[in-house]
Amino acid sequence: MAAVEKPHTGEPAVDWSKGAAWVVGAFVPAADAKVSVFDWGFVRSDVTYDVVHVWHGAFFRLEDHLSRFENSVKGLRMALPVDRDGLRDILMGCVRRSGLREAYVAMVMTRGIPDPSWPKRLPSNFKGNNQLICYAIPFVWIMKPEMQETGGRMIVSEVPRIARHSVDPTIKNYHWGDFTNALFEVEDNDADHAVLIGPDGYVAECPGANVFAVFGGSVVSPVHGALEGVTRKSVHELCDLLGIPNRNDHITRDQLLDADEIFMASTAGGIMPISQVNERILSNGRPGPITKRLHETYWAKHDEGWHTTPVDYDG
């Protein structure tokens, strides 16, 4: 479908080139997607979401993202207005209307606007008021491709990751107070990315990405305190395919600072190398050999159709 939709007689043309969204049961250009200032998703960050990407006209691991989103919605005692097939159709419809071949596609579930009796009982009074918003916009890179060629600079933040008993990190959420403060540190230190340590003293995750360390040829990701990333899952699968030892385990701050290699993984960027952590240079300031191999294989597998769901642009 063209990015500009031909109008019916007397109606203005609709420009979908900046993306498309589904809000309150209807498709609209992304710029027209809005949420009420009274929605608790805005007022109290009472919201969950998930992001899947489209690359070369196909979703990557769509079913994994749908499953994680459904579990997050259930975990926050919300209720989707559509079933899984309906949700998939909405996401497909957003991408189809936008015409984007590379896209950042989000599904968002907010608590909604309470009825006048909200002080009496929560969250039951929101039943039926939860709001689903979906959208597709041009692909988002949290590490630009040119930086991935050389690797980014990471700092270990002094801001502790919020305790998992307070905010469950396995439910993707908008509670970014700790992440935002860590990003202030990134700015103050002229760095590119940060990694946070959990209150238990172990490495947790980065703002918007899982973190991995390589020790003696083995790839390790934090055992808890982090989102169960879909790209993280892909890293472990790729390691198995390539014969690279890998595991989830505790990683201390000192162990991370002494790692052979460090990289991040996210839907918005894939496998992203780190060439410096604090003042320590890794791999002579370039992506390490295991990171580079995983990075190249990750994108090559996309081209092979690994875990992809093609978008029907003519549907």
Q: What number is the average pLDDT over the span 191-220?
A: 97
Q: What residues does each domain of the chain span? A: 4-138, 145-304
pLDDT at residue 224 in the model: 86
**Side chain identity at residue 295, one-letter code:** H
Residue 247 CA to residue 188 CA, distance in Å, equals 33
**Is residue 1 very low, low, confident or very high in pLDDT (cuts 50, 70, 90)?**
very low
Decide if pLDDT at 7 tops 70. Answer: no
**Fold (topology level) of 145-304:** D-amino Acid Aminotransferase; Chain A, domain 2 (3.20.10)
pLDDT tens digits for 80-126? 999 999 999 999 999 999 999 999 999 999 999 877 665 666 666 67
* Alpha-carbon separation of residue 200 from 160, 162, 238, 252 (angstroms): 9, 10, 29, 10
CATH class of 4-138: alpha beta
- The overall average pLDDT reported for the chain is 93
Residue 69 CA to residue 55 CA, distance in Å, equals 20
pLDDT tens digits for 38-76? 999 999 999 999 999 999 999 999 999 999 999 999 999
Strand partners, 4: 15
pLDDT at residue 9 in the model: 47
Q: What number is the average pLDDT over the span 284-307?
A: 97
Residue 153 CA to residue 137 CA, distance in Å, equals 27
Q: Report the candidate in 73, 61, 40 with the shortest Cα–Cα distance to residue 171.
A: 73
Supply the DSSP symbol for 260: S
Domain 4-138 identical in fold to domain 145-304: no
Between helices 230-242 and 289-304, what is the axis angle to 10°?
100
